[in-house]
């Protein structure tokens, strides 16, 4: 989201309540369940938000299913609950890679969409926008009317006066590249993401937790993190010039840690192959080192520890959470990690 969008989010939220989403963990993916989300809708729900391109693994949420379920619920209840689509990343990807995917104003309940031009719009940071299906869908209370030099100047943001360089840059990119140009860029990003994914799979050491259909990124985790963790890989990769964030998944899946590589237009196939080779070097280095946090579990699903003289059994998930917490503390103390 652009700074403009963020600065008026508090006011925006009074009209478009982001519904707390029910989620489920399936096959390693953390996604919204549209069925359970719609079940949570009541007479006080102003809007249901869907994400087209999750920050965690790049996944597209099923806006079409959400729309169809809400249409039926609105018919039954007489409500008119709409949908807002957070397409900060996916808004510049889906139209070019997946034109058949229905997520936008083709769906009757989608009333507003926000997009970030500074991500896959190929413009430097600071440009983004929110658009509405019609003027009637944007409450007038959200608009600031400014009497400027004798004329009424309506604005949706709190920053009335600001530089226009990002808008000009976005306009230039749109007319320079056009639909075919953006399509070529996004197809190339997807192909390079597949090169990276296949290279990681060939090592036999990682599970891929991102999907092929979504934002061109690769999110992956170690198959065996009982000795060394994703945080160690992220830390050592910095010596090779790579900043690859490692982070835990949201609540109820915090024991899962992933690394994430976002593929942009300047991430070439050569860079993808170089990153694969550097990850192999990191794995080889870690294999020669003893565990810095815990010893490897040897054929048992439980570990024990002493607590006030009593033996406490721990499951592998509990151990993994302790490992994750320990490495997060180490890296946060060094101020060398984070999701960007």
Percent of the chain past pLDDT 70, that is, above it, reads 76
Residues 158 and 242 reside in one and the same domain: no
Strand locations in 78-142 (E): 83-86, 110-116, 128-132
Residue 9: pLDDT over 70? no
Residues 94 and 151 reside in one and the same domain: yes
Spatial CB neighbours of 55, under 8 Å, sequence gap ≥ 6: 89, 339
Spatial contact of 110 and 91, defined as CB atoms under 8 Å apart: no
Q: Please give the tally of structural domains in the chain.
A: 2
Which of 144, 162, 180 is the last residue before a domain boundary?
A: 162
Q: Which two tokens stand for residue 192?
A: 């390079």
Residues 125 and 224 reside in one and the same domain: no
In a domain, 173, yes or no: no
In a domain, 167, yes or no: no
Angle at 244 between CA 238 and CA 247, to 5 degrees: 120
Nearest to residue 261, comparing CAs of 304, 169, 199, 173?
199
3-state helix, strand, coil in the chain (%, to 5): 40, 20, 40
**pLDDT digit string, tens, across residues 196-249:** 999 999 999 999 999 999 999 999 999 998 889 999 999 999 999 999 999 988
Residues 227 and 319 reside in one and the same domain: yes
Average pLDDT, integer, range 73-97: 96
CATH number of the domain bearing residue 235: 3.90.1150.160
Q: Does an H or E element contain 173, and which?
A: helix 165-202
Residues 48 and 113 reside in one and the same domain: yes
Residues 205 and 139 reside in one and the same domain: no
In a domain, 340, yes or no: no
Residues 310 and 199 reside in one and the same domain: yes
Beta-sheet pairing, 83-86 with 48-51: parallel
**pLDDT digit string, tens, across residues 250-277:** 877 778 899 999 999 999 999 999 999 9
Which of 147, 162, 177 is the last residue before a domain boundary?
A: 162
DSSP 254-276: TT-EEEEEE--TT--HHHHHHHH
In a domain, 301, yes or no: yes
Which domain range does residue 230 map to?
189-334
Residues 137 and 35 reside in one and the same domain: yes
Residues 9 and 141 reside in one and the same domain: yes
Average pLDDT, integer, range 301-327: 60
In a domain, 33, yes or no: yes
* pLDDT of res. 64: 97
Residue 70: pLDDT over 50? yes
- CB-hemisphere CA count at 13 Å for 203? 25
Residues 104 and 207 reside in one and the same domain: no
Residues 251 and 308 reside in one and the same domain: yes
In a domain, 178, yes or no: no
**pLDDT digit string, tens, across residues 100-142:** 999 999 999 999 999 999 999 999 888 888 999 998 998 888 8
Q: Which two tokens stand for residue 46?
A: 């102003």
d(CA 324, CA 36) in angstroms, rounded, equals 30
d(CA 41, CA 70) in angstroms, rounded, equals 9
In a domain, 302, yes or no: yes
Mean pLDDT of the chain: 83
Percent of the chain past pLDDT 90, that is, above it, reads 59
Could you count the other beta carbons within 10 Å of the beta carbon of residue 258? Answer: 25
In a domain, 177, yes or no: no
Residues 265 and 313 reside in one and the same domain: yes
Cα distances (angstroms) measured from residue 340 to each of 48, 80, 187, 193 = 25, 36, 23, 18
CATH number of the domain bearing residue 148: 3.40.640.10
Residue 335: pLDDT over 70? no
Which of 162, 181, 208 is the last residue before a domain boundary?
A: 162
Q: Which two tokens stand for residue 305?
A: 């520890």
- Partners of 218 in beta bridges: 261
Burial 67-105 (b: 16+ CB within 10 A, else e): bbbbeeebeeeeeebbbbbbbbbbbbbbbbbeeebbbbe
pTM attached to this predicted model: 0.75
């Amino acid at each position: 989201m652009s700074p403009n969008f963020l600065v008026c989010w508090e006011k925006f939220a009074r009209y478009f309540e982001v519904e707390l989403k029910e989620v489920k963990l399936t096959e390693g993916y953390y996604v919204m369940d549209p069925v359970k989300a719609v079940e949570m809708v009541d007479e006080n729900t102003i809007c249901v938000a869907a994400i087209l391109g999750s920050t965690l693994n790049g996944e597209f949420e099923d806006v079409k299913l959400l729309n169809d379920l809400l249409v039926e619920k609105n018919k039954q209840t007489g409500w008119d609950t709409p949908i807002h689509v957070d397409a900060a990343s996916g808004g510049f990807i889906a139209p070019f890679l997946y034109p058949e995917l229905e997520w936008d104003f083709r769906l009757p309940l989608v009333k507003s969409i926000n997009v970030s031009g500074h991500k896959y719009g190929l413009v430097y940071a600071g440009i983004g926008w929110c658009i509405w299906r019609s003027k009637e869908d944007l409450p007038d209370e959200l608009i600031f009317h400014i009497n400027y030099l004798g004329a009424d100047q309506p604005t949706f943001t709190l920053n009335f006066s600001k530089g226009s360089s990002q808008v000009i840059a976005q306009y230039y990119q749109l007319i320079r590249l056009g639909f075919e140009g953006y399509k070529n860029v996004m197809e190339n990003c997807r192909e390079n993401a597949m090169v990276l994914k296949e290279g990681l799979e060939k090592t036999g050491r990682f599970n891929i937790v991102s999907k092929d259909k979504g934002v061109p990124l690769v999110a992956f985790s170690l198959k065996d993190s009982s000795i060394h963790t994703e945080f160690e890989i992220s830390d050592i990769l910095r010596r090779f010039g790579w900043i690859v964030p490692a982070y835990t998944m949201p609540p109820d899946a915090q024991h899962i840690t992933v690394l994430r590589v976002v593929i942009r237009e300047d991430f070439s196939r050569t860079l993808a192959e170089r990153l694969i080779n550097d990850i192999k070097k990191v794995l080889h280095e870690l294999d020669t080192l003893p565990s810095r946090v815990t010893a490897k579990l040897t054929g048992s699903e439980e570990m024990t520890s002493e607590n006030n003289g009593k033996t406490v059994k721990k499951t592998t998930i509990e151990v993994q959470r302790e490992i994750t917490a320990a490495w997060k503390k180490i890296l946060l103390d060094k101020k060398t990690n984070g999701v960007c």
